[in-house]
Amino acid sequence: MPELPEVEIVTRSLIPILKNKILTNFWTSDKNLRSQLSDYECFILTNKKVKRIFRQAKYLILELDNSWILIHFGMTGKITVSKVEQKVFIANNKHVHCSFQAEDNFLYFQDIRRFGGLYFVERSDEKNLFDSQLPFNFGIEPLSEKFNENYIYLISRKVNMPIKAWLMKGIIAGIGNIYASEALFRAGINPNAKTKSLGIIRMSRLVNSIKFVLTEAIRSGGSTINNYSNIDGEAGNYAKKHMVYGRKDKFCLICNYMLDTKYIAQRSSFYCKKCQKF
DNA sequence: ATGAGAACCTGTTCGC
DNA sequence: TGCGAACAGGTTCTCA
Ligand SMILES: [Zn+2]
């Protein structure tokens, strides 16, 4: 399930493939995604040049002339770069929902569970993508300098939710269940702890832990749980380094105490009662 | 304003 | 061996 590190890896590897390329031959499936490009949008997009490729939150964003394509991977979204013609690829591969040509390559977006989506955004007047009234809650980038203990402390003073539920609300971009769990373990904070009960010292530890696990995950090629792979089809190695996520009925790698498993905000949570304090 | 819960989706795993 | 239930979770939506 792609979170920030996995989307970042895919984005970086797509830069040399897409930069300054003209897009043509848009194709979309008729299955419902969270969002899909309309025929009109495909028409508008045709023959536009890709000027910039970047990631914001969990979105891969292609910047074109006066417009953007945003791609969200949901849980099982995947991009394949291929020389195989569209008719052949689509006939031979399941769950293909969008494709286009970028000069010497074809791109294919596949998504088994269809939690992903494709969005087309046009520039309106002088507004850019990030100050307009778009239906995207991007949240603060956790690897930016603005994301620090003062910021997160200030905005969380009235939050009664468990800290893990709050981390996954999208206020902090790109954090999902895996990295919320891992960062809380590393920070020594119990995921059930009331958010506003955390003081500036512990918030500081949390901020550093979030930055650490995300950076490490990017360096390790991301986390492959079921089917994440980079655009070359290779699995990530970070799942081997998980301290708590997915380790049901296993023992804490630090203190050897049995890990706890519990649903918090509708999501499975793994943590060590001894190492992670309220 | 805050937060709790449902809904979307399908491949895999588990229990009987 | 087979069948159905449970499970996985990012995001948006509804409702208290
Ligand atoms: Zn422990």
- In this prediction the pTM is 0.92
> Tokens 């949901």 label which residue?
A74
Average pLDDT, chain A: 91
* Residue A196, burial from CB neighbour count under 10 angstroms (0-12, 13-18, 19+): middle
Q: What amino acid is encoded at A270 in this protein?
A: F
Closest nucleotide to residue A264 (Cα to C1')? B4
- CA A239, CA A20: separation in Å to the nearest integer? 34
Which two tokens mark A40? 């009109």
Model pLDDT, residue A147: 94
ipTM of the complex in this document: 0.83
Does the pLDDT at position A133 exceed 50?
no
Q: Confidence class of residue A182 from pLDDT cuts 50, 70 and 90?
A: very high
* DSSP category for residue A141: -
Element (H, E) at A164: helix A163-167
Residues near strand C (C-beta below 7 A) are A 1, 3, 34, 57-58, 72, 74-75, 113, 115, 135-137, 168, 170, 176-178, 266-268
CA dist., res. A107 & res. A27, Å (int): 10
CA dist A96 and A43 (Å) reads 19
Whole-number pLDDT of residue A135: 56
What is the distance in angstroms measured between the alpha-carbon CA of A264 and the sugar C1' of B5? Answer: 12
* List A205, A211, A267, A273, catalytic entry: A267
> Any idea which nucleotide's C1' is nearest the CA of A73?
C10
Per-residue model confidence as pLDDT tens digits over A236-275: 888 888 999 999 989 999 999 999 999 999 999 999 999 9
> What confidence tens digit (pLDDT) does each residue in A136-164 have?
678 899 999 999 999 999 999 999 999 99
Nearest Cα to Cα of residue A82 among A105, A104, A100, A102:
A105
Express each pLDDT in A4-52 by its tens digit. 999 999 999 999 999 999 999 999 998 888 899 999 999 999 999 999 9
Q: Position A17: which residue type?
A: I
CB-CB contact of A271 with A209 (8 Å):
no
State the DSSP code for A91. H
What values do phi and psi take at A48, rounded to 5? -85, 150
Instruction: List the structure tokens of A271.
Output: 């943590």
Q: Are A11 and A55 in contact (CB under 8 A)?
A: yes
Walk me through the domains of chain A, giving residue ranges and CATH numbers: 4-133 (3.20.190.10), 149-271 (1.10.8.50)
Rounded CA gap, A268 and A178, in Å? Answer: 10
CA nearest to A255, candidates A268, A271, A241, A272: A272
